[in-house]
Structure 1
């Protein structure tokens, strides 16, 4: 299973589709955290592919909400391994949040992102704040952690 975490830039969604086209997984799950009414998402969520693509709007509208949905679906479908795609500055924090909820194997894949000094300085501040929030507030309320033997 390939799970593409939401947000912009949109290149992360292209990367998830490319991985499925290359045969890494038969299905792509996309977080529509840019909003269910985002017309840019139609090419992914309404597109025709040789593999299954499904989309969801996280609740709450955060990486925590995305992790909860991953766990919910993992329990239903018995996922043992997921490939999680997000943009480079978010990889570390996203891994931290998802692995607090999902006991299976996680492979993180970074999609391209800006490389200017100002961008990276802002991302350092933003992701550091996100780590603090995740440490204090993160819950997997949809159910207990998925079992490794799933």
Structure 2
């Protein structure tokens, strides 16, 4: 009985493709460390407003309001991508907050790009030149990239407190990487 052996050229091409895919995956993982795990965070200093970006972790909203209550900015703007469907956010937006103004908006589209467009509109309307932006650690770098396209002023990027689980980190690596590619391919705000 004859042994069937794959053609050596076909096997080599398959190995090359597999090697290239592994190298790409390793490169993305290594490149993601400074972008997603240890992004550039900025020291807090007084600003015109605080913008809290929407996302999967609700701890960022109380943190943004707390920053306002501690005097870092007189206005706190909360992004509410879910709109009226989010009862908790609706309650936060309608509650009085002593000493600060709280504004809420539904971004259009419900993405960081939509939040950037609203930031630009509000900054033009109110004359803001410096905004503190609150989001969670894996989103800091991509948010900075997108918001700088929409807002000519100074951004102070701050990570909200909270832990990110290992499975969530894996998801965020993929999600943020795809988001970066999409942001690069869609120039402008």
TM-score, with structure 2 as normaliser: 0.71
Whose strand proportion is higher, 1 or 2? 1
The answer on whether the counterparts of 1:88 and 1:110 sit within 8 Å (CA) in structure 2 is yes
User: Are residues 1:135 and 2:177 paired?
Assistant: no
Aligned length: 140
User: Are residues 1:20 and 2:73 paired?
Assistant: no
1:24-53: per-residue Cα shift (whole Å, max 9, x none)? Answer: 000101111132321010332011101110
SS in 2 for 1:36: helix
The unaligned stretches of length 5 or more in structure 1 are 141-150
Q: Which moved more, 1:102-111 or 1:34-43?
A: 34-43
The answer on whether the counterparts of 2:129 and 2:154 sit within 8 Å (CA) in structure 1 is yes
The unaligned stretches of length 5 or more in structure 2 are 1-48
Structure having the higher Rg: 2
User: Are residues 1:69 and 2:121 paired?
Assistant: no
Whose helix proportion is higher, 1 or 2? 2
User: RMSD of aligned C-alpha atoms?
Assistant: 1.2
TM-score, with structure 1 as normaliser: 0.88
Question: What is the rounded CA distance, in whole Å, between the counterparts of 1:138 and 1:69 in structure 2?
Answer: 17
Residue 138 of structure 1, CA deviation: 4.4
Q: Which moved more, 1:77-86 or 1:42-51?
A: 42-51
The answer on whether the counterparts of 1:45 and 1:53 sit within 8 Å (CA) in structure 2 is yes
User: Are residues 1:30 and 2:44 paired?
Assistant: no
The answer on whether the counterparts of 2:79 and 2:104 sit within 8 Å (CA) in structure 1 is yes
User: Are residues 1:7 and 2:58 paired?
Assistant: no
Residue 87 of structure 1, CA deviation: 1.1
The answer on whether the counterparts of 2:84 and 2:90 sit within 8 Å (CA) in structure 1 is no
